[in-house]
């Protein structure tokens, strides 16, 4: 009996040594969770034994329990390196067509494969949710593999230009009249932006602002620059700057410049005493087509026309400032240049044509009982009946932690504690070995009795 007790002690000490050694061996494994060997005593008796004098039958391994507290962070320069700051797991699948057969992991070292799909070092596919491109909200919570297209969209022609700016109220009328874009003394301010034709070719569009005194002001003291003339030009394929006039008949005559004064037809912006656009002053100005302006587009759509849309322009006592100059529609073919992932798990792809696109959201998963998960190796786990079913959700929502991009979660072991546990397990093994040796000596003594 005593030999069996000593043997069970040796087995328990060996299990403890194996568990501690495995922890130490995985000190540098991303997302690894330390294990702890837990033991229980063996006690048995029968109706023919005296429970008061029963010594017990040794020790047995109850479980090797994993500890799911967070490991420390290691910062990288790879935006596809992810860690979960808080509760939750990433989900990965062996096949992108069988996302339902997924595993859980805390190892967020992901990369793009040859088809621009997000995978881990073993080629397992990171799962996420498709996102509505208009609202950037999750379209479906059915987790699927994530792919980032390296080319975005066909070329599209510029149509709508959104502008938000402040024109300084203290601006004086240019000394040279009338306006001529070739004469820098004939305009007050100017700004440039890029537009695109239907083939994706970029053009430089320049906007000129000419301050004007209000001729209807009651006194000279009130003759502020509350009226502005605005002109547009486009630089064509030959490098020549060509005037882009207002579409004839699209605006009331009071808001169009006089063609008898300047050969270029622009539009007029009028502001009130509060620096706001006057009531009735148009904030959407249709421009003539490229064909009418005789702009050489080299085989692109010559009927392309722009609409200038002003978003709360102001005339305050501050500097000239263009707050927004956005080409809503125009774009050339874009090539993937950058990938970012925010704390909510949204994957933002940036393209060379200046377009940013949310291509998906990283799926988050959790279970009710983490220690009920089955360990698969490779920092992977599977849900079991003991762990409970997988619950899907979003990062930074509810009980799910946030996602940190450019960061990996290191192993959560404490090397100092592991070395202490190693010494303790070694001592336990030696003590059990000594008990077994003593038991052997006693048996030898008994056998030598004559």
Cα separation, 174 vs 187, in Å, equals: 6
Identify the pLDDT of residue 228.
93
For residues 202-209, give the mean pLDDT.
94
Where does the pLDDT of residue 437 fall: very low under 50, low under 70, confident under 90, or very high at 90 and above? confident
Give the Cβ contact number of residue 238 at 10 Å. 8
Identify the pLDDT of residue 221.
45
For residues 282-310, give the mean pLDDT.
93
For residues 282-292, give the mean pLDDT.
94
Identify the pLDDT of residue 195.
94
- Taking Cα atoms as reference points, which of 306, 287, 294 lies closest to residue 246? 287
Identify the pLDDT of residue 408.
95
Query: Which tens digit of pLDDT belongs to each residue from 157-183?
Result: 999 999 999 999 888 888 888 899 999
The C-alpha angle 199, 200, 203, rounded to 5 degrees, equals 110
Where does the pLDDT of residue 224 fall: very low under 50, low under 70, confident under 90, or very high at 90 and above? low
Contact 161, 325 (CB under 8 A): yes
CATH superfamily of 160-327: Flagellar hook protein FlgE (2.60.98.20)
Contact 332, 353 (CB under 8 A): yes
For residues 227-232, give the mean pLDDT.
94
Contact 325, 310 (CB under 8 A): no
The DSSP code sequence of 159-223 is: -EEEEEEE--TTPPPPSS-S--TT-GGG-SEEEEEEEE-TT--EEEEEEEEEEE--TT-SSGGG-
Identify the pLDDT of residue 58.
82
Query: Which tens digit of pLDDT belongs to each residue from 77-95?
Result: 899 999 999 999 999 999 8
pTM, two decimal places? 0.65
Start-end of CATH 2.60.98.20 domains in the chain: 160-327
Where does the pLDDT of residue 220 fall: very low under 50, low under 70, confident under 90, or very high at 90 and above? low
Query: Which tens digit of pLDDT belongs to each residue from 355-374?
Result: 788 999 999 999 999 999 99
For residues 31-55, give the mean pLDDT.
76
- Taking Cα atoms as reference points, which of 412, 415, 416 lies closest to residue 72? 412
For residues 396-416, give the mean pLDDT.
93
Lowest-confidence region among 90-99, 116-125, 214-223, 413-422: 214-223
Query: Which tens digit of pLDDT belongs to each residue from 313-365?
Result: 999 999 999 999 999 888 888 888 889 999 999 999 988 877 788 999 999 99
Assess whether pLDDT exceeds 80 at residue 385: yes
Identify the pLDDT of residue 76.
93
Assess whether pLDDT exceeds 70 at residue 210: yes
Identify the pLDDT of residue 12.
84
Cα separation, 441 vs 446, in Å, equals: 9
- Above pLDDT 90, what percent of the chain? 56
106-145 b/e with 16+ CB inside 10 Å = b?
A: bbbbbebeeebbbbbeeebbbbbbbbeeeeeebeeeebbb
In angstroms, what CA-CA distances link 378 with 107, 191, 322?
9, 56, 53
């Amino acid at each position: 009996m005593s030999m069996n007790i000593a043997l069970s002690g040796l087995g328990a000490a060996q299990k403890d040594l194996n568990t501690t050694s495995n922890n130490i061996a995985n000190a540098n494994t991303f997302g690894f969770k330390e294990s702890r060997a837990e033991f229980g005593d063996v006690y048995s008796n029968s109706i023919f034994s005296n429970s008061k004098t029963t010594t017990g039958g040794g020790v047995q391994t109850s479980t090797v329990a994993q500890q799911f507290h967070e490991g420390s962070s290691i910062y990288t320069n790879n935006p596809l390196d992810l860690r979960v700051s808080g509760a939750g797991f990433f989900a990965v699948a062996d096949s992108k067509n069988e996302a339902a057969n997924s595993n859980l992991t805390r190892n967020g070292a992901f990369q793009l494969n040859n088809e621009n799909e997000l995978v881990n070092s073993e080629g397992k596919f990171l799962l996420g949710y498709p996102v509505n491109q208009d609202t950037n909200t999750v379209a479906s919570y059915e987790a699927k593999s994530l792919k980032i297209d390296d080319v975005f969209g066909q070329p599209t022609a510029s149509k709508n230009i959104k502008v938000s700016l402040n024109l300084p109220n203290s601006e004086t009328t240019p000394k040279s009249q009338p306006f001529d874009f070739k004469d820098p003394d004939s305009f007050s301010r100017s700004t440039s932006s890029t537009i695109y034709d239907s083939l994706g070719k970029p053009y430089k569009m320049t906007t000129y602002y000419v301050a004007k005194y209000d001729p209807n002001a009651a006194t000279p003291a009130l003759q502020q620059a509350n009226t502005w003339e605005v002109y547009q030009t486009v630089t064509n394929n030959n490098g020549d700057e060509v005037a882009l006039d207002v579409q004839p008949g699209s605006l009331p005559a009071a808001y169009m410049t006089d063609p008898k004064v300047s050969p270029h037809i622009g539009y007029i912006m009028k502001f009130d005493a509060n620096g706001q656009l006057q009531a009735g002053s148009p904030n959407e100005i249709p421009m003539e087509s490229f064909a009418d302006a005789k702009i050489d587009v080299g085989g692109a759509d010559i009927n392309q026309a722009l609409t200038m849309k002003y978003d709360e322009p102001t005339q305050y006592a501050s500097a000239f400032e263009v707050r927004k100059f956005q080409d809503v529609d125009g774009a050339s073919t874009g090539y993937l240049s950058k990938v970012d992932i925010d704390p909510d798990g949204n994957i933002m792809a940036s393209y060379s044509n200046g377009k940013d696109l949310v291509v998906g959201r990283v799926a988050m998963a959790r279970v009710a009982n983490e220690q009920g998960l089955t360990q698969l190796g490779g920092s992977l786990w599977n849900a079991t009946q003991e762990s409970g079913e997988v619950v899907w959700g979003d990062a930074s929502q509810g009980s799910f932690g946030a996602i940190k991009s450019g960061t990996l979660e290191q192993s959560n072991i404490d090397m100092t504690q592991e070395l202490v546990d190693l010494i303790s397990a070694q001592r336990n093994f030696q003590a059990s070995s000594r008990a077994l040796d003593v038991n052997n000596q006693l048996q030898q003594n008994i056998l030598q009795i004559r």
